Structure 1
Amino acid sequence: MITSYTQHYSLRSTPQSEPIPSSNQICNSAGGYAFAVDDWTQLDRFLILGSEGGSYYATARKLTVRNAEAVRRCVAADGPRAVARIAEVSEAGRAPKNDPAIFALALAAAMGDIATRTAALAAVPRVCRIGTHLFAFVQAVEGFRGWGRGLKRAVAAWYAGKEPQELAYQLAKYQCRGGWSHRDLLRLCHVKLTGTANDVARWAVGRGELPPVDVVAPTDPLALLVAVEAVNRATTVDEVVRLVRDYGLVRECVPTRWLSKAAVWDALLERMPLGALVRNLATMTRIGLLSAGSEAAGRAVEALGDSERLRRSRLHPVSLLTALRTYAAGQGARGAGRWAPVPAVSDALDAAFYAAFAHVEPTNKRWLLALDVSGSMGCCSVAGVPNLSAREASAAMALVTAGTEPTHKIVGFTGRGDGTFGPGVEPLAIRSGQRLDAVTRMVAALPMGPTDCALPMQYALERKLAVDVFVVYTDSETWHGDMHPAQALRQYREKTGIPAKLVVMGMVANEFSIADPDDAGMLDVVGFDTAVPQLLAQFAVCNTGNG
């Protein structure tokens, strides 16, 4: 008998419970081995995905600590570059939530060298665009440092940099959050304002006198503040409606006791920001303002279909997906409120999700979109959004590419091999044009099992499928198979002669990837980054020399 030592030690086929020989793979949270992403990639993952929900194998605290350490290493290596990246991702609206960017900026403002701290504090207005962001930044900074002159100047510059009209809007809409108020910050930063801006600030600290509501012009920066005080004294619905329409009051400025009145919401809807519209669709439906065929529902649908307004709003696709799933369900995840969804509104939310991504021309490549539907993907949330698991979010991302590329297949995979999910890979009955909420419900109902991210390539080879680009949507916590995904891709290339590429869509902000960083034909990207569709198209057509 001839002993085959290669069954125990091989560069072509290595169990995922062991590292590929001579590679720099590390043990992932599931006990398997994967490639470590560099700190700058992890910074991007954290900025876009956050770590609030943790993962199946790592708690939110553990994941946050790992990401914070990666951010700190980036700050130490090149602080100005880290600050520029934080501001870029935040300003472009590429992340579902701004909280990770605010936290990372606060860390840079506290732990960087002089140049980094200066850059971080100068970037505060770019990252902290509204009052809530500023409160969150100050709270985060206090976790790292005290109130020095630099921080006071940065907060003062935030107020001084706004025109009186915008300043009044910020102080009226975001009066207090998280235990902080504008009164607190204005007293701490000692900002020097003049003219009308000073009058606005004096009102916020409780020292300003405002003119009567019947003598101030609606265009006066003080008018909004006058209306806020008047609506707090209002005794009738008609009075509240008049103030909302005349002065453009937003929902946050209207006392809670009036927010059960359809007439008040109808007035608010006239100039409601798109983000507020999306958040309050369920409420407006529940109180009867939005109904099938109603004029108000028509206005809501028209607003959601305005692509330019959608672009200006910075609404992230995750926000639209979450709103669609909640609205179409007719019941919130929390509370007992119920409503009858308006089909036209649900359809408009679905269309807005796709419109939130930049338009991309089809590459006409052959795509296999592979969704990791294993247990770990079903037990972690995307960007801390409740009830939106990574497996559901990955289905939505796959539909974006499927809607662009005419030649594609969508499969789900898990390491389960007991016959309840076939051999571990199964074509999914997902097609372009399906409503997102229906697709995410279908994926959520699939059986779960262990993770084997090599299966999509092995499946394509076994079925003799011609694939130019594999896209694997995963948390990279792969551990179950007898071959690493990178080895499976190379095997596919060798046996088919197709120089296939692999895109790993990271759905969790951990430090692992199944993409080999030394292989130019493999790419690691962050799932639910709004730049992803364009990046995928560019990678699919570029000449990487792989194969």
Structure 2
Amino acid sequence: MKYRQREGWTHRDLLRLAHPVTGEPARRALFDLVCGRDAELAELPLYRAFLAANATSDVASWVRLIGTAGLSWEMLPDAALTEPDVWAALLDRGLPQTALLRQLPRLTRLGLLAPMSSRAAAVAAQLTDPQRLAAARVHPVNVLVAARTYAAGASGRSDRTWVPSAPIVDALDAAFYAAYGAVRPAGKRTLLALDVSGSMMSPAGGLPVSCREASAALALVTAATEPAHAIVGFTSAGSYRDAGLTPLAISPRQRLDDAVDAVSNLPFGGTDCALPMVWAREQGVEVDTFVVLTDNETWAGRVHPHQALAEYRAATGIPARLVVAALTPTKFTIADPADAGMLDVSGFDAAVPGLIADFSRGEV
């Protein structure tokens, strides 16, 4: 009822592969229903409510079924999702945090988030609730993407527009920082190396944020959640190809726009992906995970990154790992396919920060 298929796979496909057996009447009725057999609907009150909702066009009936049966928005017919009263009922019952983030434009178009309204105040309070953000595992990057999309007043995927509500814009700004508590730290000594070139103003993976803003956001999150970290930028040590690394003053107490300023207007150099390991070895810095964030520039200078990583491991005895993330989708290869401690990431979405952290912990 809520998720009827994903990528062409249905619940029926899953049951046919798994062949589950149960003696519970309600579960047996559910399996029968999914597989197209006669089912005892008396055992499935939620499904009966779903059928009732999809058999009517009466707004009052939809509102009643939301309240009495607990139907979620995914279970309702498309016509119901154009009705302000339906969404008011869904809000009253409680929208999950991630669903609320995605539905802000629709709620605004329907007039439910007008400035100074009690509804807008309630939604703003939910958006900034650290406990709700943590329980839903909403990463700050998720909030950032939602904030930029909402503030734009238009969707890049359709011609729909809305006038952003100021209390919601402010709430999304605050929610970015409140979501730090939702991040599961890798717990590793992390060196984050940022491309600071002008091309970082290009969009990150087709999202409404630039590569520069995405990298600055990840730097802030790293500073706020990883006890042992260092953040450096690829800057010029003379010519573009004669690149070096410069420590960046990024603090977890900074705002995102301040962090963006910290990585802007620097004398940028080439993104030599071997430099972080060379620099750490020369400076005697102990690092468990090296992370390089760039737009799509990934090249090697005097030494290849996998060789620099091997030399760092040999010199320090640390089984260090390396992640190179090109935030705009591009074809590149830095990682040695035979080295499980190296990872290439091409493109960017809200799942990338978690992937990097999981890899750093050795869980990927």
TM-score, normalized by length of structure 2?
Answer: 0.66
Aligned sequence identity (%)? 36
Matched, 1:131 2:4: yes
Deviation of 1:452 after TM superposition, in Å, equals: 1.6
Deviation of 1:453 after TM superposition, in Å, equals: 0.7
Q: Superposition RMSD on alpha carbons, in Å? A: 5.3
Indicate if the aligned counterparts of 2:107 and 2:113 stay in contact, CA closer than 8 A. yes
The aligned counterpart of 2:171 is 345
Greater relative contact order (Cα < 8 A, sep 6+): 1
Q: Which amino acid aligns with 2:165?
A: A
Deviation of 1:246 after TM superposition, in Å, equals: 3.8
Matched, 1:325 2:140: no
Q: Distance in 1 between matches of 2:75 and 2:88?
A: 15
Q: Residues 246 and 192 (structure 1 numbering): CA distance in 2 closer, same or farther, change over 3 Å?
A: closer
Q: Which of 247, 259, 273 in structure 2 is aligned with 1:453?
A: 273
Q: Residues 429 and 439 (structure 1 numbering): CA distance in 2 closer, same or farther, change over 3 Å?
A: same
Q: Residues 333 and 448 (structure 1 numbering): CA distance in 2 closer, same or farther, change over 3 Å?
A: farther
Indicate if the aligned counterparts of 2:290 and 2:320 stay in contact, CA closer than 8 A. yes
The aligned counterpart of 2:87 is 265
Q: Which of 41, 63, 70 in structure 2 is aligned with 1:196?
A: 41
Residues 119-145 of structure 1 show CA distances to partners (whole Å, capped at 9, x for unaligned) of xxxxxxxxxx93132x5226xxxxxxx
Deviation of 1:372 after TM superposition, in Å, equals: 3.9
Q: Distance in 2 between matches of 1:333 and 1:444?
A: 26
Indicate if the aligned counterparts of 1:473 and 1:507 stay in contact, CA closer than 8 A. yes
Indicate if the aligned counterparts of 1:328 and 1:346 stay in contact, CA closer than 8 A. no
Q: How does 1:236-385 map to 2 (within 5 A)?
A: 240-254=62-76, 259=81, 262-270=84-92, 271-291=94-114, 294-304=117-127, 313=136, 319-334=142-157, 335=159, 337-338=161-162, 339-341=164-166, 342-347=168-173, 349-351=175-177, 353-359=179-185, 367-372=190-195, 382=205
Point out where structure 1 has 5 or more consecutive residues left out of the alignment. Answer: 1-128, 139-148, 169-181, 201-218, 540-547
Point out where structure 2 has 5 or more consecutive residues left out of the alignment. Answer: 346-351
Deviation of 1:387 after TM superposition, in Å, equals: 4.3
The aligned counterpart of 2:17 is 154
Residues 150-194 of structure 1 show CA distances to partners (whole Å, capped at 9, x for unaligned) of 888239869x999579969xxxxxxxxxxxxx9xxx6xxx54343
Matched, 1:481 2:301: yes
Partner-residue secondary structure (3-state), 1:504: strand
Q: Residues 287 and 489 (structure 1 numbering): CA distance in 2 closer, same or farther, change over 3 Å?
A: same
Q: Distance in 2 between matches of 1:307 and 1:443?
A: 28
Deviation of 1:491 after TM superposition, in Å, equals: 6.6
Q: Residues 239 and 152 (structure 1 numbering): CA distance in 2 closer, same or farther, change over 3 Å?
A: closer
The aligned counterpart of 2:291 is 472
Indicate if the aligned counterparts of 2:271 and 2:299 stay in contact, CA closer than 8 A. yes
TM-score, normalized by length of structure 1?
Answer: 0.48
Which is greater in Rg? 1
The aligned counterpart of 2:349 is none
Deviation of 1:346 after TM superposition, in Å, equals: 0.7
Residues 297-340 of structure 1 show CA distances to partners (whole Å, capped at 9, x for unaligned) of 44434544566755665666654442233234444334351413
